[in-house]
Amino acid sequence: MSQDEHRQIAKFYDEIYYHEIKSTVSHPSCHALQLIKRLHLAPGDRLLDVACGAGSWLAAVAQHGADISGIDISERAIDACQRRLPEGVFFLGIAEQLPFDSHSFDIVTCLGSLEHFLDQPAALREMARVAKPNAKLVILVPNAGFPTYRFGIYRGTQQQTVRETIRSLDEWRKMLEEAGLEITDRWKDLHVLSRSWIVRPPFYMVPLRLFQALALTIWPLSWQYQVYHLCRIR
């Protein structure tokens, strides 16, 4: 892991991934509301989102009274967060070196981002460090057992051009445990059950995306594309 590698990744997110970033306030998605309910989020809870992007998830929890903090490698993303959520605390930086005191947060989330970090075990250890002893940690990661990935139909997201590692659920479990975390629950990510995800370019993929969205509701957890891991400090 080097500063040059991180600079190249930051450049990708600033110039490509977040090229048309939006910082406007929008209504929380139903999937964000479901996660808030599952976490029993309470007003005054301190929540850190690692790789917070433009702040959509943080905006949802802020509306429910949480004290929000975020960090991201993209300067454009952090600028968008600061405009969108002036009450939040935001840092430009990497997940492997979190600029927060130990035992600071009631909830730490990292949603669909761990697989893109250069040193994933180090990032997890940092999340465990800044979490309070009784904190909840929520990690959303892709699963190598996803059928279309196993069969070579799906090869990864746009971010694979810089960094993306898709592991099996057993491999993710081992990594989480080695970072000092214990998995207390796992569940399916069903955010694809939305019209905006299914009906989008390229339109020739709409039938496949529709099939995938419906199939995920009945497939076992071991076949899911993305899986939530709720953890606590061991």
Q: How many CA atoms lie within 13 A of 106 on its CB side?
A: 13
- Asked, as a colleague might, if the bond just before 202 is cis with ω within 30 of 0, I would say yes
Query: What would you measure as the largest C-alpha separation in the chain, in angstroms?
Result: 49
What is the phi/psi pair of residue 184, to 5°? -105, -15
Kindly indicate the confidence band of residue 27, based on its pLDDT and cuts at 50, 70 and 90: confident
Cα separation of 42 and 206, whole Å? 38
Taking the C-alpha atoms of residue 65 and residue 7, their distance in angstroms, rounded to an integer, is: 35
- % the chain with pLDDT above 70: 90
Task: Sketch the domain layout of the chain as residue ranges.
Answer: 3-189+224-233
Q: Does domain 3-189+224-233 have CATH number 3.40.50.150?
A: yes
Q: Report pLDDT digits (tens) over 170-180.
A: 999 999 999 99
pLDDT at residue 152 tops 70:
no
Q: What is the pLDDT of residues 49-85, one digit of tens each?
A: 999 999 999 999 999 999 999 999 999 999 999 999 9
Residue 227 gets the label, from left (phi > 0), alpha (psi -120 to 50) or beta, of: beta
Q: What's the pLDDT score for residue 65?
A: 96
SS (H, E, C) the chain: CCHHHHHHHHHHHHHHHCCCCCCCCCCCCHHHHHHHHHHCCCCCCEEEEECCCCCHHHHHHHHCCCEEEEEECCHHHHHHHHHHCCCCEEEECCCCCCCCCCCCEEEEEEECCHHHCCCHHHHHHHHHHHEEEEEEEEEEEEECCCHHHHCCCCCCCHHHHCCCCCECHHHHHHHHHHCCEEEEEEEECCCCCCHHHHCCCCHHHHHHHHHHHHHHCCCCHHHCCEEEEEEEEC
Rounded to an integer, what distance in angstroms lies between the CA atom of residue 234 and that of residue 231?
9
Structure tokens, 43? 């007003």
**CA atoms of 215 and 217, how far apart (whole Å):** 5
How many other C-beta atoms are found inside a 10 Å radius of the C-beta of residue 85? Answer: 20
Q: Is the pLDDT of residue 148 over 80?
A: no
Residue 191: what pLDDT? Answer: 75
Tell me the one-letter amino acid at 173: R
